[in-house]
Amino acid sequence: MAGFEVIVRPVVFPNIRPAPARALAPEDNPDQGIAVLGGSGGRLIDLPHSYSTSVSQQKPHTESKRQFDKERIYQVGQGGSTRSGEINRNNYIDVERLKKVRLNTEGGALKMIYSNPPPAANVETLETDVVR
């Protein structure tokens, strides 16, 4: 029969082609990466080692007498600022302002005298020269 021949070929679209084969790593050289262990001929290996410690102990001063003023410090201005000059008498703290202190030490007594700070409008003295 003479006639037309039909040839059927499968169509392969580019997006469905299989992934290319993976490239394998080259084979390792058996001579590389071998660790060689050697000895020192039986000698003792000594690493230098040193340490240092220091301890110092001092007998603290013991307070035997203190003279102070009890003062009340009021808040100045809105939010603590001193620019406005307003004194808030509802917000205050009471403190002890040290004037003189006597300390006992190993070498004898030590007396320390502190100078008075300049006067301030927001500081009120409640008691003066209180001894404890």
pLDDT in tens, 40-59: 666 666 778 888 898 887 77
Q: How far apart are CA 82 and CA 123, in angstroms?
A: 13
Is residue 67 a contact partner of residue 103, using CB atoms and an 8 Å limit?
A: no
Q: Can you tell me the distance from the alpha carbon of 68 to that of 103, in angstroms, rounded to the nearest whole number? A: 15
Instruction: Identify the segments of the chain with pLDDT beneath 70.
Output: 1-4, 11-17, 25-31, 33-37, 39-45, 78-84
Residue 76 near residue 122, CB atoms below 8 Å = yes
Given this model, what pLDDT does residue 16 score? 63
pTM confidence score: 0.50
Where are the strands (E) in the chain, listed by range? 62-76, 87-105, 108-113, 123-131
Mean pLDDT estimate for the chain: 80
What pLDDT score does 29 carry? 67
SS3 state at 14: helix
- DSSP annotation of 1 reads -
Those residues whose C-beta lies under 8 Å from the C-beta of residue 73, and which sit 6 or more positions away, are 92, 93, 94, 95, 122, 123, 124
